[in-house]
Amino acid sequence: MIDLKSHEPNDLSASQSFWSAFRHRTFAIIWTATVVSNIGTWMYNAASGWLMTGLDASPMTVSLIQVASSLPMFLFALPAGALADIVDRRRFLIYAEISVTIIAAASAVLVRLDIITPFLLLLCTFLLSIGAALTAPAWQSIVPQLVPRRDLPAAVAGNGVGINISRAIGPALAGVVIGVFGNAAPFWLNAASNFAVIGALLWWRPPAKTEHALPAERLMSALIIGFRHARYNRPLRAALMRAAFFFFFASAYWALLPLIASSQIDSGPAVYGLLLGAIGLGAVVGAFALPRLRRVLDADRLVILGSSGTAATLVTLGLARSPTPALAACVLAGFSWILVIATLNVSAQISLPDWVRGRGLAMFVTAFFGAMTLGSAVWGQMATMLDLSTTNYVAAAGLLFGIFPSRRWKLSAGAGPDLTPSMHWPNPVISIDAEADRGPVMISVEYSVDSQHRDAFLQAVHQLGEGRRRDGAYAWDIFEDVAEEGRFVEIFYVASWLEHLRQHRRVTNADRILQEMVRQFGADKEPKVTHLIAVSSSASGSERIAS
């Protein structure tokens, strides 16, 4: 594999301080607003989980709260990611957050009037999670707009700290608020807290995008191209596989924690809130420790460390019969959680160019919550058939046994390829009327290669082929002339002329470096590029576009 990493503007290790992202005012303001909103969200999560133990205390029903929270992320994150790449992200987030606020207020009314049922509670949780699913890719996609690339790991870690500060404060506050003001109070506070992010988004003015004459992608086409990009993006695939594996097993303690607090430890909502708060506290500690850990451990070892810590958490929760060991286990859970999720998130972020960032991160969110949804249902059913302790032990064993086999999916970290658009492809010379929706289009590139460079050329050109497919080509191959030594023809197909014009804007500086390397293996002759567009049966004449 040819190394295309750039060690200048893309050296992510240069930003070691956790606070570096907070030097940027926009990031700091939006971060603060999301912390306020997330405190309300975690108050809702804790209050709904605890309320369900009073409405129906069966393990399967209680675990369905986690299923209702996770399933929408699995179902809706991918179309939401495509939307995040097509529409104005800021405007989309504003409208979505207003809708979430209305649903949150409706749930508070149901609890206040004491007409809430297990079904209605699950429905409200499901609807609120749909809102979260629709906004998650857009929220993650705007992070590179808030900080420069060198501060991206600090920003991702900062967001993790924000979520876990919320997790530390929200559940504990929910326990107190329920005791003083009743079950409905956390639901009202959740609705009110959402005004913070709405206000921050109304204040924020993102940098103006460079206007292109090309129309926006269609939703279905955008989804197909996003899947194709992920298929040929090896670092992204690695992050997705590692996420699915870890979160399936880690979901056990999230799904069963309300029952561990109420049944196994025999405590009330205050202790349950403290357990969730301890997870948040551990995650905050982990986020501050991450920069130092990154100096001594690579991304793969950080995930192994976090997975081992999570396995230890599950075993300890299985053994716990009092609050003290459970609290210690939850602190370790939070520490381990932030190590894994921040590492996987950074790996996914740096593997994605901006044009497909929303779709790529949506796939990460889908892997995350798909695994959480499936895992929550599995562990809830297992706890119904067996018991809470045994279920935790089984989840811990599965996590430990799978750590080393999962290492074959290598994660990205530190310096990465420069994925900014290079814009180095010249505009095709057109001698006919090439309508935007005409296609498919076949592009051929003819190379003349010195015989001693044949193997090196083929290795490089196959990497180039993966790049063509990541940028939108649905088929690619390289052909060798049997009659003329050293003559190779690269051919790739795109769905339409408009899609090929988009491909011109997607080519990155890393692609440019590889393309220049491929050409260096040839003789002095410049590669010949030809564009051919499909001709319908009703058309006449030969229609050929060359450049």
Angle at 430 between CA 427 and CA 431, to 5 degrees: 160
Distance CA 115, CA 11 (A): 55
- Residue 332 has a pLDDT of 94
- Residue 11 has a pLDDT of 41
Q: How many of the other CB atoms lie within 10 Å of CB of 256?
A: 28
DSSP state of 76: H
- Residue 544 has a pLDDT of 39
Sign of CA dihedral 518, 519, 521, 526: positive
Q: Report whether 439 contacts 503 (CB < 8 A).
A: no
Q: Is 522's pLDDT higher than 70?
A: no
Give how far the C-alpha of residue 457 lies from the chain's centroid of Cα atoms, to the nearest Å: 34
Angle at 510 between CA 504 and CA 514, to 5 degrees: 90
213-221 long-range contacts, CB within 8 A, separation 24+: 214/498, 214/501, 214/502, 214/505, 215/436, 215/498, 216/86, 216/87, 217/82, 217/85, 217/86, 217/502, 219/79, 219/82, 219/83, 219/86, 221/495, 221/499
The residue type found at 244 is A
Q: Is 514's pLDDT higher than 60?
A: yes
Closest by alpha carbon to 467, among 356, 380, 341, 376?
Answer: 356
Closest by alpha carbon to 155, among 290, 311, 278, 271?
Answer: 290
Q: Kindly report the CATH class assigned to 441-546.
A: alpha beta
Q: Which helix (H) or strand (E) holds 273?
A: helix 269-296
- Residue 224 has a pLDDT of 86
Model confidence at 333, in pLDDT bands (50, 70, 90)? very high
Beta bridge partners, 443, equal 492, 531
- Residue 2 has a pLDDT of 45
Counting runs of H as helices and runs of E as strands, what totals does the chain give? 18, 5
Beta strands 475-480 and 487-494 are antiparallel
Ranges of each domain in the chain: 21-205+218-408, 441-546
Q: CB within 8 A of 112, min separation 6: which ones?
A: 184, 187, 188
Average pLDDT over residues 22-36: 88
pLDDT tens digits for range 145-162: 788 877 777 787 777 777
Calculate what percentage of the chain has a pLDDT beyond 90. 13
Q: Which one has a higher pLDDT value, 331 or 270? A: 331
Distance CA 379, CA 398 (A): 12
- Residue 144 has a pLDDT of 78
- Residue 18 has a pLDDT of 60
Average pLDDT over residues 497-504: 86
Q: Is 214's pLDDT higher than 60?
A: yes
Beta strands 528-533 and 441-448 are antiparallel
Q: Which one has a higher pLDDT value, 543 or 323? A: 323
Q: Which one has a higher pLDDT value, 179 or 138? A: 138
What radius of gyration, in Å, describes the C-alpha atoms of the chain?
Answer: 26
Beta bridge partners, 475, equal 493
Average pLDDT over residues 274-282: 82
- Residue 493 has a pLDDT of 94
**In the chain, what is the greatest distance between 2 CA atoms, to the nearest angstrom?**
87
Sign of CA dihedral 146, 152, 154, 157: positive
Average pLDDT over residues 443-467: 87
Sheet order of strands, 475-480 included: 475-480, 487-494, 441-448, 528-533, 544-546
Residue 456 phi/psi, 5° resolution? Answer: -65, -40
Sign of CA dihedral 94, 96, 97, 101: positive
Q: Which residue has the tokens 């260096």?
A: 520
- Residue 311 has a pLDDT of 94
Model confidence at 350, in pLDDT bands (50, 70, 90)? confident
Q: How many of the other CB atoms lie within 10 Å of CB of 88?
A: 12
Alpha carbon distances (Å) from 454 to 451, 458, 464: 5, 6, 15
- Residue 4 has a pLDDT of 44
Report the C-alpha dihedral over residues 330, 333, 339, 340, rounded to 10 degrees.
-150
Report the range of poorest mean pLDDT among 84-88, 331-335, 359-363: 84-88
- Residue 102 has a pLDDT of 92
- Residue 65 has a pLDDT of 76
Q: Give the pair of three-digit tokens for residue 484.
A: 């003329």
- Residue 538 has a pLDDT of 41
Angle at which helices 185-193 and 25-55 cross, to 10°: 160
Closest by alpha carbon to 311, among 253, 359, 367?
Answer: 253
Distance CA 147, CA 186 (A): 33
Distance CA 493, CA 473 (A): 5
Give how far the C-alpha of residue 313 lies from the chain's centroid of Cα atoms, to the nearest Å: 25
Highest mean pLDDT, choosing among 111-115, 259-263, 316-320? 316-320
- Residue 416 has a pLDDT of 64
Angle at which helices 454-470 and 509-520 cross, to 10°: 150
Q: CB within 8 A of 442, min separation 6: which ones?
A: 491, 492, 493, 531, 532, 533, 534
Average pLDDT over residues 218-231: 84
Model confidence at 540, in pLDDT bands (50, 70, 90)? very low
Average pLDDT over residues 178-194: 84
Q: Give the pair of three-digit tokens for residue 247.
A: 């979160």
Q: Report whether 266 contacts 317 (CB < 8 A).
A: no
Calculate what percentage of the chain has a pLDDT beyond 70. 90
pLDDT tens digits for range 72-120: 877 787 888 888 777 788 888 999 999 999 998 998 898 888 888 888 8
- Residue 315 has a pLDDT of 93
Average pLDDT, the chain: 81
Highest mean pLDDT, choosing among 210-214, 284-288, 365-369, 441-445? 441-445
Average pLDDT over residues 117-136: 86
Average pLDDT over residues 334-363: 85
Q: Kindly report the CATH class assigned to 21-205+218-408.
A: mainly alpha
Q: Is 537's pLDDT higher than 70?
A: no
DSSP state of 525: S
Q: CB within 8 A of 317, min separation 6: which ones?
A: 253, 256, 257, 260, 326, 329, 330, 392
Q: Is 164's pLDDT higher than 80?
A: no
